[in-house]
Amino acid sequence: MCDSPLQEISRIPVCPGCLRKPTALTAEYFCRDCRTPFRNQFPLDQEGRCALCRLGVNGFDAAYSFGAFEAELRELIHVFKYGRVETLAGPLGRFLALALPRGEQFDVVVPMPLHWFRRWKRGFNQSELLAGEIARRSGIPLRNAVRRVKATTAQAGLTHAKRRANVSGAFRVRRPDRVRGLKILLVDDVMTTGATASSCARALKQAGAARVALLTVARVDRRMNLDIEGHAVAEPEHDHAGSLEGHARA
């Protein structure tokens, strides 16, 4: 990442300095539920909720992220996913642990699933590795409770409404009796607009889950990429739903 030679043998091909560089997302104003950062308080209602949460668009009950999807954190996630450096799950898992509120209690950790073809092509599900890290650190059991049953088209360039339609019906809970009444921590690597996570969370809620909170390493900062009036958001190099690959693909 910084092109400096590594000083010691390690299973992680990133120097300690670069691993320490990512910083937590900060803002003076956050949505109470989805934790979207804002420049001022005007997008929030008296209860501190943004427009999407007021309208019930988000399928999850809460969302937590460590940092913004930019700079060193973005590079680390790219090396992890596209460079297939699975050992980076450990350092990224530490960021996840820092983002998880201390007071929250969950019954099970569920990774965001990949479609079988995407998983076969990549060789692993990055969200499952991250979920394994947070499960190990927290002592919460890991459960692959959801399948991705629809290979959807790429999300890049779509408006928020079209993103929601694109991933509608893409997820199915394997055994509803194993999530019914549970508080679920849904783990992913990056949150863009939240459309994919909302669809997955909605499937879990329809299967009887009592609460679904999303936990990601990074999120796109809407202060730079807004989708307020139905216009397309600038898409990061990340897309769970698409059939794209490479550094500008997922």
Residue pLDDT, tens place only, 123-162: 999 999 999 999 999 999 999 999 998 766 555 555 566 6
CA angle 117, 123, 128 (to 5 degrees): 90
Domains and CATH numbers, the chain: 26-56 (no CATH), 57-250 (3.40.50.2020)
Cβ contact 91:12 at 8 Å: yes
Of residues 237 and 116, more confidence is placed in: 116
| Residue environment code for 84-101, b if the CB has 16+ CB neighbours within 10 A, otherwise e | ebeebbebbbbbbeebbe
Residue pLDDT, tens place only, 69-79: 999 999 999 99
Rg over alpha carbons for the chain, rounded to the nearest Å, is 17
Cα(63)–Cα(201) distance, integer angstroms: 11
Give residue 126's pLDDT. Answer: 95
Residue pLDDT, tens place only, 198-247: 999 999 999 999 999 999 999 987 665 444 333 333 333 344 433 333 33
